[in-house]
Structure 1
Amino acid sequence: MLKNRLLLGMIFIGCVIAACEKPEVYDEQSQYEIDEALIKKWSDSSGVVLTKHESGVYYNIIKEGTGADVVTLDDTLKVQYEGKLLTDSVFSQTTAETDTFRFVLKTVMPGWQQGLPLIKEGGEIRLLIPSKLGYRNYPVKHGELPRQQVPANSVLNFKIDLKKVVKKK
């Protein structure tokens, strides 16, 4: 009886040790170099001229906007947007002309925090966000459909229309 328990205990410990696998270390710089090459290839094939921000986000200002205030991280923004992968598959979007996404800028991904202050209220921008400023090496599910899965290390392609800026009081 004792031998059986000892044997089962050893098997259990062996299984636990075998199941402990070290996660792959996220190499931000190497992944950024891969992402940057993908962004440049997308830009060349799509004909969209992009500018590189010091943060690493690539952008194209479609319309600067006419708002008087500079957007800050504490501001509440209302936007309409479409988020795609570089394969052009849509993973997230506002769905109607009256549908907006409302948020405080400091609460969203770093790519939006860096890119949205480049325009003013009424402006429109395309942001190509390398994975280190997006979802990094985490897969993310948006909605219920399989096509709305964002794989780990994905470059994100957002077209954002900044409808309203509400300054923090």
Structure 2
Amino acid sequence: MKSSFLMLASGMLMLLGLNACNLNQVDSSQAVYDEDLKEIDAYATTQKLNGKQTASGLYFVITKSVPSSKKPSLGEEVMFTYKLSLLNGTVVDSTAKPAFYPFGLGALLPGLEEGLSLMGEGETAILLLPSALAYGTQGNSKVPANSVIRFDVQLIRSRTEDQQIDDYIVEKGYKLTNKSTTGLRIIKTLENPTGAALATNQTVTVKYAGRTFRGSSDFDAGTLSMILGLRQVVSGFEEGVGQLRVGEKATIIFPSSLGYGSQGRANNGVYVIPPYAPLVFDIEIVSAK
């Protein structure tokens, strides 16, 4: 049976955490917006913040500057820490470990994502978000409706998929066997020089386990039979399988351009594979006929 998560992407697009509001529920009325800006101005004056305000109403102060540092680009993975507070000083949430998110896809609160776009790697900032850029009219269990909120943020780094893959290989201590022009990396863990080479239109049986770099467990695992060359599975998986022989095992790593791209893959409204996520598969070629 073919794995549902190895099939071509279905076109689903969901939102990740830290957004916690539907933009249709945000109260964008001029009166609320004006009150938010007055509250932000008063708070900034009291706190002696010397910041700037964007056209959206976001107020930001770079508290540690790193001149000419790299800013995030669409689809990169941003790594950052944060503390989320109400303006009365109540801490709502904070990171014990760095958070990782794909940048520029609406996965974060609009004001937080805009704030990160203004920061470079290594910089820290204070962000004051009007409610329309935060939790809007709905609020949440800890943030009252129509609340201005504060983020204290450090942008640690922003990495392309290629950089993420290279870092992952170093981190895991893998010895690279091959890198193709498409970006696929192959790390053979069991070679079988006498095993039969694979050919187009063969039915190949493969044992596999797939994971993302940030996932705590495999998102899918099992055994599947596929006809090589018919594009029955995502292209990175098919390309990796096609470069092995019967009896061989390998870890294959490929960018989202060979997987689920900017759409990712979701299950019951929750991302299993985020947008722009490189994928890792441990595979074994069981047979081919």
Instruction: Give the equivalent residue in structure 2 for 1:111.
Output: 111
Distance 2:67 2:28 in 1: 40
User: Which of residues 99, 102, 108 in structure 1 aligns to 2:100?
Assistant: 102
Does the CA-based 8 Å contact 2:71-2:158 persist in structure 1? no
| Count of aligned pairs between the two proteins | 136
The residue type equivalent to 1:39 in the other structure is I
Greater fraction of residues in strand: 2
The structure 1 residue matched to 2:157, chosen from 148, 151, 164, is 164
- The whole-number CA distance in structure 1 between the counterparts of 2:28 and 2:74 is 27
The aligned residue for residue 32 of structure 2 is 31
Which TM-score applies when normalising by structure 2? 0.44
Displacement of 1:79:
0.8
Q: 1:139 to 1:68 in 2, by over 3 A?
A: closer
Task: Give the alignment's TM-score, normalised by structure 1.
Answer: 0.73
Q: Evaluate the alpha carbon distance shift between residue 136 and residue 73 of structure 1 in structure 2; reply closer, same or farther with a 3 A threshold.
A: farther
Which structure's CA Rg is the greater one?
2
Hey, what does 2:145 align to over in structure 1?
A: 152
Write the mapping of 1:16-165 to structure 2, written as runs, cut at 5 A: 26-65=27-66, 68-95=69-96, 99-105=97-103, 106=105, 107-141=107-141, 149-165=142-158
CA 1:40–1:25 in 2, change beyond 3 Å: closer, same or farther? closer
Moved >6 Å (runs of 4+) = none
Return closer, same or farther for 1:29/1:168 CA change in 2, 3 Å cut-off.
Answer: farther
CA distance in 1, matches of 2:53, 2:27: 23
Contact 2:84/2:149 (8 A) holds in 1 = yes
Aligned equivalents of 2:27, 2:100: Cα separation in 1: 31
Q: Any stretches of 5+ residues in structure 1 without a counterpart? A: 1-23, 142-148
Indicate conservation of the 8 Å contact 2:28/2:132, yes or no.
no
Distance in structure 2 (CA, Å) of the matches to 1:110 and 1:151: 18
Superposed displacement of residue 159, structure 1: 0.6
* 2:112–2:151 contact (8 Å) kept in structure 1: no
Q: Kindly provide the amino acid, as one letter, of the partner of residue 155 in structure 1.
A: V
Query: What letter matches 1:30 in structure 2?
Result: A
Match of 2:239 in 1: none
Aligned to 1:144: none
Percentage of matched positions with identical amino acids: 27
Question: Partners of 2:88 and 2:118 in 1: how far apart?
Answer: 25
1:75–1:167 CA contact under 8 A, matched in 2: yes
Change (3 A) 1:109 1:27: closer
User: How far does residue 25 in structure 1 lie from its aligned partner after superposition?
Assistant: 9.5
Q: Is the 8 A contact 1:51 1:59 kept in 2?
A: yes
For residues 35-57 of structure 1, what are the alpha-carbon distances to aligned partners after superposition, in whole Å with 9 as ceiling and x for unaligned?
00100110111111121012210
Question: Is the Cα–Cα contact under 8 Å of residues 66 and 123 in structure 1 kept in the other structure?
Answer: no
Cα 1:72–1:29 shift into 2, 3 Å: farther
Give the C-alpha shift of residue 113 in structure 1: 1.9
Residues in 2 aligned to 1:71 and 1:110: alpha-carbon distance in whole angstroms: 15
